[in-house]
Amino acid sequence: MKHPLALAMAAALSTLALGACSAPDGNDTATATAPAPAENAAAPAPTEAAPAEANPLFAASPLPFQYPQFDKISDEHFGPAFDQGMAEQLKEISVIADSGEPPTFDNTIVAMEKTGQTLDRSTTLFFSLVGADTNDARKAIQADYSPKLAAHRDAIYLNPGLFKRVKTLYDKRAELGLNPEDLRLLERYHEDFVRAGAELSQADQARLKEINSELAKLGTSFSQNVLAEVNDSAVVVDTREELDGLPEEAIAAAAEAAKARKLDGKYVIALQNTTGQPPEAFLTNRALRQRLHEASVARGSRGNPYDNTGIVSQIMKLRVERAKMLGYPDYASYSLANQTAKTTQAVNDMLGKLAPPAVANAKREAADLQALIDKEQKAKGEATFKLEPWDWAFYAEKVRKEKYDFDESQIKPYLEAKNVLENGVFFAAGKLYGLTFKQRTDLPVYQPDVLVYDVFDEDGSQLAIFIEDLYARPSKRGGAWMNAYVQQNKLFGTHPVVANHLNIPKPPEGQPTLMTWDETTTMFHEFGHALHGMFSNVKYPYFAGTSVPRDFVEFPSQVNEMWADWPEVLANYAKHHETGEAMPKELLDKVMAAAQFNEGFRTTEYLGAAMLDQNWHQIGSVDAVPAADGVMAFEAAALKKDGIDYPPVPPRYRTPYFSHIMSGYAAGYYSYIWSEVLDANTVEWIKQHGGLTRANGDRFRETLLSRGGSKDASELFRDFTGHAPEIGPLLKRRGLEPK
């Protein structure tokens, strides 16, 4: 059975990336719920479809490690597979719930883990493709099946006979003699049933089913609006002169994008999903920078074709109602109860401690930028102007160049993407864990430029298959993430097939793919998620890979970023793509010296989004949720209340395009920095114990990466470091220590 929350979230988020998003300072990044049939209703009949041999989703893939048959699966296969999968699983569940045998761990809990294999296989593939390579047909299927999958989940978790068996076992769990992983599985199932409403009255359960169905529809509409508007609101530029300052490869890419839209002779700058847009760091044309910024922040707002404000209002009202029904004061309290943070107070306290020094740092940085603006304008004999959000990245890049005497264009020739992957990311994994990698071209892919590798353990046995999807495209959601097409577990004897997705602009044909330093660290970050999936060594699908609390899942991937600039690793991959010359030490020294540069901005924009998320989800009554025309006023008031409303630094995401919190990261955007506390502590431990060594890698793999969710996350951290987390290393890293 898919992780119990998986079906409830996949339809809303459009990709199985829970626990697999990139760090918010890089490119960001995640399962779903039919109004359910009446209790104990018969399973829905499968849609009339081709015979099993004609639908590859009706059986496990015959390819190595059940690698998906991308070349044989078409969109028309998904609906019949979903229908048959739901029917099969409800029949399997009915056998368990209606059994006349007394409940046992094996005939109830393990039996539930074994259900739903057709549905698991088909939804995993479908929602992975919706994130990586969507199209109109997939959007229609997603919209159609989101509420059906929501109802299917409810039909399972609100089945009174099934819950009675689970509760019977839970109540006498101390007498069952279960091993730790079995006991944890029983406890987690009981918790999931209760959180799904199994203890509610029939009337409340009926209403809960309506809420879940509506939330699934709204989440799908929100995510599809965001993707559609990112493509639709791309900025069209008439002349090359307006693009002055933009790197040549970016200009060429903008010309290619214009041709694709039949705008020959013009240039198209596609928007990324964040508020800030990367070209703003380079464009000398201030008016164009302003156009980019204003197009970005207008997304999803009142009056435009993809207005999300009404959807936001409806989602928040339904979430408040759902939380109240389940006995929580607000949705954040419900969401956090099974995370490592546990309470809204814990999250508020941490964010509250970070916000004042972050804003103070941002204001100091702004003073430097304003001084540079004034100096340049005076030298030109022109009136100065006030620093605005669209000016920040441009002048920050100038200040960085002035202070540290380098810019991104100096670094990129040393960071060719495939070389970074194979001689940097893979090299570090070999040194730490003894892994080796071999590219293969015989397996099918869903896009021709996707890379596939076999992954081998030190003893020569194959551990996993790894997929790397590098490039941005209109059919792909923004950000960076990891997903598992197949997860490891001993119950079925499956091995991992995991994928990393980036959004690097694709260069013109024949040109190398040169990355920024942020893109490089993002590649290392996402591979940390991949390692978490590949090293999984658990019995049950429920606990596999990255199936850990949301505020813990970013921790291992953030740790893996440390190897990007580790001297031995860097020396192996940071080489000029034409000459093979190593990156000069003085250039690297400048990169490292500038590591905390602009940290006030980065932390403030992140905290703005994280605190905005908490404000939305700590609303305590349906009546307090603003209507559509009050959404942006609520956002402004929330930022002001928390002291994070610094106009030159808007939140990394504004509410109408904040996809994280409308899906799997609802009340959870704080988790990146919560995980970074654990990461900073762990990096200090590794450095103190010898750095890039097999001993450290093996310890991290054995005590943490291989355990998935089979043990409490806080205990896993202590197992590795030997102590509780401390905030000091994070403050030091981000330059937020008291001045």
d(CA 18, CA 31): 8
Q: What angle do CA 125, 126, 127 make, to 5 degrees?
A: 100
**Dihedral sign computed on CA atoms, order 372, 373, 374, 377:** positive
Mark whether 526 is an active-site residue: yes
- Tokens standing for 315? 């989602």
List 365, 519, 526, 676, catalytic entry: 526
d(CA 54, CA 57): 9
The residue with tokens 């305590």 is 620
- Tokens standing for 72? 């044989």
Give the burial class of 686: count Cβ atoms within 10 A of its Cβ; 0-12 exposed, 13-18 middle, 19 or more buried: buried
d(CA 647, CA 640): 10
DSSP 594-661: TTTTTHHHHHHHHHHHHHHHHHHHT---GGGS--GGGHHHHHHHHHHHTT---TTS--SS-GGG-GGG
Query: Phi and psi for 588 in degrees, rounded to 5?
Result: -60, -40
Residues 6 or more apart whose Cβ sits within 8 Å of residue 157: 4, 163, 192, 193, 196, 197, 198
- Tokens standing for 616? 């939305």
Cβ atoms within 10 Å of 364's Cβ, excluding its own: 11
User: Using an 8 Å Cβ cutoff, are 435 and 458 in contact?
Assistant: yes
User: Using an 8 Å Cβ cutoff, are 307 and 301 in contact?
Assistant: yes
Q: Which of 365, 236, 339 is nearest to 288 (CA)?
A: 236
d(CA 739, CA 386): 27
The residue with tokens 């209403």 is 207
Q: Which of 189, 40, 33, 174 is nearest to 108 (CA)?
A: 189
Cβ atoms within 10 Å of 368's Cβ, excluding its own: 14
* Residues with active-site annotation: 526
